[in-house]
Amino acid sequence: MERQLPLKTQRHLNLIVEWQYLLVLLVVGINLTALKTGYKVARIWGFNTQNDPSQRPYDNYFQVLNSSGQYFNYNPQNGIPRLDYAVAAAQKKGIQLILPLLNNWDELGGINTYTNVYGGSHNDFFTNTAAQTAYKNYIKFIVNRYKSSSAIFSWELCNEPRCSGCNPSIITKWASDTSAYIKSLDPNHMVSLGDEGWLTSTSANTVPNYEQSYAYTGYEGVDFQANLAIKTLDYGTFHLYPNHWGYNFTWGNTWIEQHNAIGKALNKPVLLEEFGVPDWEDRLGIGQAWENTVSTKTSIAGDMLWQFGTNFPSGANPFDSYSVYWNTTELNVLGNKHAKDMTARWPVATL
């Protein structure tokens, strides 16, 4: 039987697009994109950590971690007031935000900004007591600062967490402990992991077309099915970049259907939180095929383009080759039209 999501969850997860760019541009994105397309939710970074701000004096950052301690940056020019402004703008415009609280990667201060100070390797972060104490301090700071805002859609533990070569139980335990901590601070908002959706043999009897290849071996230390079963994680996330992972683009449809099957089995919503096709490929055709799989062959709750690009006065700045720009055929089809298709699929709750 087809899984029916609670109406409130349907409403929240219907229309989602992802913006991963400087916070100063969020208001532009809300005004020019979200309101004119019907998007309801944006995902923006809720983290930005430096060990030595003097090395990157023009960057925004929200906290400093170094041998002197842990400090939050309240400077209105480049600190937490920038995120305050973004959250306030989203609230004013009726947009909700997914806020990841940590990055697996080094950009904008990832996991390694913690291990640089508290010791160990990247993989040690998940079990390093001092690093976890500092991370929970940051979680408490951000969650308590914004939990009363109607702009908050959900909290996310980490963007694309990996513990390469580790037993997946390490991240599962970390996700269980950390999500429970967030719920202790804020029981009124949803929490997700933010993972790419890596599978293991746990899912061999759950998903169609299971195979023994990279995405299914658990090499990155993540077990999507085990993590989705965590009681304090409200919905699952997975990402889709076949060209980076050694698969063809057609395989993306299989990846989508497999995560849909796990969501059904565990009776939890699942979100395709990032998907992207580089600009030298048939982005429109490939993206439409994936979106069609989401909207017509699954009960996936929503999907999010990576990423919305912005035109600066000096010219377009895509940040990477995956960006989709305002007022282009790609955005109109993969964004606007698909948003309408997803809206038509789910009933909208009357609150």
Active site residues: 160, 274
What is the amino acid identity at position 181? Answer: Y
Pairing of strands 41-43, 96-100: parallel
- The number of helix segments (H) and strand segments (E) in the chain equals 13, 13
Q: Among candidates 123, 116, 237, 243, which has minimal Cα distance to 174? A: 123
Q: In what order do the strands lie in the sheet with 69-72?
A: 49-50, 63-66, 69-72
Q: Is 195 helix (H, G, I), strand (E, B) or coil?
A: coil
Q: Is 153 helix (H, G, I), strand (E, B) or coil?
A: strand
Token reading at 75: 């400077």
Yes or no: say if 238 and 283 are a contact pair by the CB < 8 Å rule: no
CA-to-CA dists, residue 228 to 43, 160, 260, 270, angstroms? 20, 15, 12, 9
Q: Among candidates 146, 139, 148, 220, which has minimal Cα distance to 180? A: 139
Pairing of strands 324-325, 69-72: unpaired
Q: Say how far apart CA 8 and CA 10 lie, in whole Å.
A: 5
DSSP 47: -
